[in-house]
Structure 1
């Protein structure tokens, strides 16, 4: 009986320890960028907007989290928020839908976030639905690009500056473990 209790204690301790070690190998990477949605000439017209190359700084982020890009197991987008910065009075009411794609050198474009029916409720900030796809190959690159595809529901007479905030969850192995 004592052996069974001891065995259970060892199993419970090792399970707890593995979970704690796994937490040490998980972290978030946050990125901020800005796009400009141009004034529109029509309604229901698709508009494509590319960001400039976005440096990932992944090597230094991985190093500061005691890992390396070769030890990354998975990277997922967990949050993407779009906030209108200007003009001050602008809201998302003019937009019907939005899709965001990621691309990087040597990799195919992939849809990572979207919102298909944007409500006309005066919102200045949108949280998009995000893909569960593994994006490690994109984030391990030195830089990536975002392509934004929008469809408007109203004419817009001014350019709209939008801040894109993205959070990627990284699951990696710690160096030496």
Structure 2
């Protein structure tokens, strides 16, 4: 009888501890924003442009994945693709390097991706090298902003619109 009681206590303890355990899940979030680079007259001069605020809708996106903000462990940028969308005849030959930073209310700006020594091969899109940083505190906000720092190596005379397609990998406990 004592063994049975001990066994039942152990089983009960294990079952109670497992109710607080949550299954770990991974899913992706994707966002896009357009960034306008004004026409320039100089070369090898760094300049900065900002994206409009990117609305995250993170609360509803987390809920649709069966979790909530408080159960998100990490959010990491897994891919950032830059593509020229206007004018259609433009390419990235005018840019030598580009760095993308993220900022959100109450958070310090963080470098999330870059591409150095961009080849002059008439690319109209390319993938940036992403940084290994946890962006939970940024993407969990209502919105974030991207700051783009570029260095040009050619003069270009017209405004260029670039689309930044971002893919974030979320690891969270599923409810």
1:30 matched to which residue of 2? Answer: 30
CA–CA separation in structure 2 for the residues paired with 1:35 and 1:86: 11
Q: Which residue of structure 1 aligns with residue 64 of structure 2? A: 64
CA-CA distance at 1:34 after TM superposition: 0.2
Contact 2:98 2:115 in 1 (8 A): yes
The correspondence of residues 94-113 of structure 1 with structure 2, limited to 5 A, is 94-113=94-113
Structure 2 counterparts to residues 142-153 of structure 1, below 5 A: 142-153=142-153
Please state how far the C-alpha of 1:107 moved relative to its aligned partner. Answer: 0.5
Structure 1 unmatched ranges of 5 or more: 1-20
Counterpart-to-counterpart distance in 2, 1:147 and 1:164: 11
Query: 2: CA distance between counterparts of 1:31 and 1:81?
Result: 11
| Max Rg structure | 2
Deviation, 1:86, is 1.2
Mapped partners of 2:146, 2:163: distance in 1: 13
Alpha-carbon displacement from aligned partner over 1:82-110 (angstroms, at most 9, x marks no partner): 00011111110000000000000010000
Q: 1:53 offset after TM fit, Å? A: 1.2
Backbone CA RMSD of aligned residues: 0.7
Deviations 1:54-78 (A, max 9, x none): 1111000000000000000100000
- Match for residue 46 of structure 2? 46
**Distance of 2:122 and 2:48 partners within structure 1:** 23
Shift of 1:80: 0.1
Ranges of 4+ aligned residues in structure 1 off by more than 3 Å: none
Tell me what 1:82 maps to: 82
For structure 2, list consecutive stretches of 5 or more residues without a partner in the other structure.
1-22
Does the CA-based 8 Å contact 2:102-2:111 persist in structure 1? yes
Contact 2:33/2:52 (CA < 8 Å) preserved in 1?
no
User: Is 1:157 paired with 2:144?
Assistant: no
TM-score normalised by length of structure 1: 0.85
Secondary structure of the structure 1 residue equivalent to 2:90:
coil
Secondary structure at the residue paired with 1:62? helix
